[in-house]
Structures are given as C-alpha cells and as structure tokens.
Amino acid sequence: MQPAPVTKYRPFPPVALPNRQWPNRTFTHAPLWCSVDLRDGNQALAQPMSVDEKLEFFDLLVRIGFKEIEVGFPSASQIEFDFCRRLIEEKRIPDDVAIQVLCQCREELITRSIEALRGAKNAIFHLYNSTSPAQRQHVFHATRADIVRIATQGTAWVKKYSAPLVAAGTRMRFEYSPESFTSTELDFALEICEAVTDVWAPTVADKIILNLPATVEYATPNVHADQIEWMCTHLTRRDRTIVSLHTHNDRGTGVAATELALLAGADRVEGTLFGNGERTGNVDLVTVALNFYTQGIHPGLDFSDINHIREVYERCTRLEVPVRSPYAGDLVFTAFSGSHQDAIKKSWAVQKPGEPWDVLYIPIDPADIGRSYKPIIRINSQSGKGGVAYVLEDEFGFQLPKLMHKEIGRLINDVADEKGTELTRAEIHDVFQKEYLGRTAPVALEHFKTSEQDSTVKCEVALKIDGQSHALRGEGNGPIDAFTRALGSTSLPKFEVLSYSEHSLGKGSEARAVSYIQIKTERGQTLFGAGIDTNIELASIKAVVSALNRALAKK
C-alpha cells in the first residue's frame, strides 16, 4: 500500500442534491425482480453451465417466482442462441414470465438476437453501450455525440427488426443500459437516456426500462442513492419509465446500495442468487428479497425451501454459498457464544405463535425458509451453560433444572477445550450420559423397594459399595429421605438433599421419568445427579446414587 498521504486514489465526487428525499423514506412494497443468473452470472463462472444445467436453473428461477429472467447473450455464441431457442420451442416459459436477452448496439447482433426471440410470447430486449468518460476516451475514442448516436441508432434497429415479432403476437419490451452509469456524468447519463426514450416512444401502458447499472461499485451506497434520485427527478417521462438497478459488489456494499437506491425511487432490481457475478459479484437477490420479508413485506419471491435452492445453485454453478452468507449459509443461524445462546434460549421460550417474531440474534424464523432449528446452538469452548442446556433439551428432551446449567456447562466446556473443536450434539449427550447416568461405581444400586405405614415410608435396599454387597433398611417421610437414612449406616460420606426435580421423557406407555437431585456433602461440596427409569420413585433413587458417585469421584 502507498504510505500516507495516499495520492494514487481520489475520493468519488458527491452528487449535488440538496433536497434529497430518500433518507426519510421507508419501504412499502417490493420491487420488480429480474434474475441475470443465466447471463451475467453464467459468464462469470470458471466453467459455464451446460445447456441442461441452464434449463434446470431456469426452472428453479420460475419456481421461485421470477417474472423476468435474462437468459443469455444469443448473438455472442451458438450455445447462447440455441438455449434461447430451446426455451421457446419446448414451451418451457410460462406465459407470465418474460425472457430477457442482452445485446450491444450493432445491427448484425440485434438482428441475430431478434431471431433468437422468434415465437416468444413475452420478451425484453436489453440494449447497452458504454458511456463513461474513461470508456469514451480509452476504448471508443468517441465524443458524447458519437455515443448518443450509437445508442439511438441501436434503439431504432431494435424497434425496426422487432416489429414482425410484435405483429406475430410477441409482447416486446425494451430496456436500455448506459453501461458504467455510476462513473458517467449525470447530465450525460440523462441526455442519452432521454435520447433513447425519444426513439422508443414508450407509453404509460408500455414503459421503457432504463437500467442504471453500478457496473463497478466506486462509491458509498448513499452516493449511489443520490445518483438514482437525481435521475428519477430529472427524467421528463418518469411515468413512462421503469428505473432499474444492476448493482455490483466491488466495495462489499451491493445490498446496501440497492436498498438505498430503491428508497431513492428505483422500481426494479437485476441481480443473481447468492450474488454470483464478475469480480466480487452482483447484488445478492436472496439477501435483498429476504431483507424485505423481515420488515413485513413479502418480496413476491418464494424462498421457503432455501436449502433446495442452494443445492441446485451449488451443483449447477460449482460454487459454494459461504457459511456466513445471509440466510442460506450453514452458520448464519448458529450461536457459539455463551451469552448469545442464553439470550436465544430465553427469548425463544417466550415467543408465542402468531405474535411478531422477536427472538434475539435471529432476525428471521429459520422455519420460514426451510432451515432447521437444530444448528441454532452449537457448542465449543466459547459456549455457555444455557447453550448446553438448550441442546440437551432440544435434541434429547432433558429439561435440566436452572441450577444444574452451570455445572453441565463447565463440564462440556472442559471437554470442548481439551478437544479443541466444536462438539456434536451426540458428543454432548455422551458426556452427559457418562457423567450423570452411566456411573455405577463405587456405588451400584441393585434393588430398592418401599412400603408405607402411617405416613412413614420404609425402604429395603440392596447395593454394592466397592464391589461389596450391602443390605440396608431405612425409613423417612418419603422414598428419598428413607434411602438417605439407610445410607447413614454405611461408610459413605454424609450428605443432605438440597433440591429435587423431575419430568417425563417421551410420551405414552413408553415414557420414562427423569429425576435430578442436588446434594451437599459434609465437606460443603454441592453437585447434581440424574437418574432415569420407568418408575419415578426409582429414577429419583438413581439420581441420588449418581450424585453420590460423582462426589466420591471428585474426592
């Protein structure tokens, strides 16, 4: 990097817009959407999609709900031409879906593109030419007037050569892009858009699409919004114009730039699923659309099965959706942090069906887009007690008492720290099983039976201590009290029961009871034990034995 002061780069000039309105606006409806996955996205792939893959991807876009799909650049290659023809000839395009083709302002390319659209019911012809000062100076060696003539002549050719298709029943709409709009002088962008509109002569019923692309993202999103609002307020036929966006992501702010530009007055968004595209990619339509959804506005696109959409995308493009990609990434609904896990668990517990979604750290209900709840809390050495308790309850049904959370959390953290990686849910359950439910030494319960007489419970106990059999009797005000008194005749350490809780595990005749017992030893040590049995009384006795064995192991 160049040391300060940086002279190699210069700041992007602001837009003179003293009365800008977009900062005070809010969204009330979703924009029109156009997928450019099969053209802009496909051309950016190291290995472009095969025809069969493009057909599968097209079907996916239709199922999602896209009504405008850019299918290719049919004048660029025979493959692109044949794909367009196949969609039309095999009647794969629903009547309410428009296919869009891209073309430069050259007569032979325009006629070839028109030929590709023959027989289409609903089509958009997307014409473009470069307009920025750098393009004019270094690439085309042309003046402003030269560039305007290229655009208007191209528009006239589209109008001329598409007339037979229109006469044959094709609904032909026209889109024009001043390529590199964001680096073009605003007055010239307006001039060329007005000139093209003059030639096309749109009506209120049949509007022209003026696509204003951020072909390269040079400035902050607010500057892009200013550019779009400036154009929207200066177009003389705004009521006959659909203002379209085509934002790239060079600065990593493509989504923000798109959203602010929509507030600035744009009507339509071109982009790709998961942001595939040249360099850093196009704007991610999944993110923009679901951002609308989280604000209570249905985007008109259906991402209810985002896992399937991602699977088709990854298979056809040979790209992977990053694990932190909004909404679809593997880890976007996952919390490892203990404080986050605790907040999620508590807010989730009070979330009621039908009420506005308000679960902390999770801006959208994963179920709305077909995501599972299971990966929401995952455990590593950074996780807290609440996260471990959540996993044991969510996956295995153990409703640990609040006081037990800290104890089991510490145990799991120690294991995760030693292992150095995330623990799976099965591994967490295994630790719980071995630590609490699987301990049979040095005390092993072999038999327990109670009887009741005059509100006094008597018990008969058979157990082994360090391999030696013991037959014990005791009585108390309940089974647990009688059992602890029976143990008093042994050499086992004395303890008192501090707390007891239980719940059923499962439903119906196969349900088992789970008991949790907290004890305090004569040395002042407090710890929990747990027990499971089809008999609730026996489950509580097993929990006492579990706690006692844990105390002896720590001693």
Q: What is the pLDDT of residues 153-179, one digit of tens each?
A: 999 999 999 999 999 999 999 999 999
Give 7-34 pLDDT, tens digit per residue: 999 999 999 999 999 999 999 999 999 9
Task: Give the neighbor-by-neighbor strand order of the sheet with 443-453.
Answer: 443-453, 456-465, 468-476
**Three-class SS of 18-75:** CCCCHHHCCCCCCCEEEECHHHHHHHCCCCCCCHHHHHHHHHHHHHHCCCEEEEECCC
- pLDDT band for 509, please (50, 70, 90 cuts): confident
Q: From CA 392, how far away is CA 92, in angstroms rounded?
A: 49
Q: From CA 130, how far away is CA 125, in angstroms rounded?
A: 17
42 and 179 in a single domain? The answer is yes
| Contact call for residues 216 and 179 (beta carbons, < 8 A) | no
Averaged confidence pLDDT in the chain: 94
296 and 152 in a single domain? The answer is yes
pLDDT for residue 380: 63
Question: What's the CATH number where 464 sits?
Answer: 3.30.160.270
For residue 31, being part of any structural domain is answered with no
Closest CA to 333 of 303, 300, 361, 299: 361
pLDDT for residue 452: 93
pLDDT for residue 162: 98
For residues 353 and 207, the model is more confident at 207
- pLDDT band for 383, please (50, 70, 90 cuts): low
For residue 535, being part of any structural domain is answered with yes
- pLDDT band for 394, please (50, 70, 90 cuts): confident
221 and 346 in a single domain? The answer is no
Query: Residue 448: is it exposed, middle or buried by C-beta count within 10 angstroms (0-12/13-18/19+)?
Result: buried
pLDDT for residue 381: 55
Query: What is the rounded average pLDDT of the residues 359-385?
Result: 80
312 and 416 in a single domain? The answer is no
Closest CA to 517 of 536, 492, 485, 541: 541
- pLDDT higher than 70, residue 460: yes
Q: From CA 357, how far away is CA 349, in angstroms rounded?
A: 12
pTM for the whole thing? 0.79
Q: What is the CA radius of gyration of the chain?
A: 34
pLDDT for residue 423: 85
Domain count for the chain: 3
For residue 6, being part of any structural domain is answered with no
**DSSP H helix total and E strand total for the chain:** 17, 14
Domain boundary among 437, 456, 486: 437
For residue 14, being part of any structural domain is answered with no
Domain boundary among 417, 437, 457: 437
pLDDT for residue 546: 97
312 and 344 in a single domain? The answer is no
Q: Who's near 287: CB < 8 A, 6+ residues apart?
A: 255, 275, 325, 326, 327
What are the phi and psi torsion angles at 35 (to 5°)?
-85, 130
Domain boundary among 288, 317, 346: 317
412 and 518 in a single domain? The answer is no
Give 71-126 pLDDT, tens digit per residue: 999 999 999 999 999 999 999 999 999 999 999 999 999 999 999 999 999 999 99
Query: What is the rounded average pLDDT of the residues 340-359?
Result: 89
Q: From CA 446, how far away is CA 210, in angstroms rounded?
A: 83
* Whether residue 202 has a cis bond before it, omega within 30° of 0: no
Buried b (16+ CB within 10 A) or exposed e, 501-520: bbeebeeeeeeebbbbbbbb
425 and 450 in a single domain? The answer is no
343 and 454 in a single domain? The answer is no
Q: From CA 246, how far away is CA 41, in angstroms rounded?
A: 12
For residue 360, being part of any structural domain is answered with yes
User: Which of left, alpha, beta for 87 (phi over 0: left; psi -120 to 50: alpha)?
Assistant: alpha
527 and 428 in a single domain? The answer is no
Q: Which two tokens stand for residue 179?
A: 């390529």
Residue 409 domain boundaries:
338-437
Query: What is the rounded average pLDDT of the residues 454-460?
Result: 94
- pLDDT band for 385, please (50, 70, 90 cuts): low
For residue 229, being part of any structural domain is answered with yes
408 and 448 in a single domain? The answer is no
161 and 116 in a single domain? The answer is yes
Helices (H), 201-301: 221-234, 254-263, 285-294
Q: Which amino acid is at 437?
A: L
For residue 251, being part of any structural domain is answered with yes
What are the phi and psi torsion angles at 363 (to 5°)?
-75, -15
* Whether residue 5 has a cis bond before it, omega within 30° of 0: yes
Q: From CA 404, how far away is CA 65, in angstroms rounded?
A: 49
DSSP string, 333-379: T-B-SHHHHHHHHHHHHH--TTSPP--TT-SS-GGGGT--SGGGB-B
Q: Cα dihedral sign for 386, 388, 392, 395?
A: positive
Question: What's the CATH number where 258 sits?
Answer: 3.20.20.70
84 and 229 in a single domain? The answer is yes
H or E element, residue 174:
strand 171-179
CB atoms within 10 A of CB 21: 14
Task: Give the neighbor-by-neighbor strand order of the sheet with 512-521.
Answer: 495-505, 512-521, 526-533
pLDDT for residue 506: 84
Write down the residue that tokens 């056809």 correspond to: 316
pLDDT for residue 331: 86
pLDDT for residue 374: 72
For residue 534, being part of any structural domain is answered with yes
Q: From CA 213, how far away is CA 485, in angstroms rounded?
A: 82
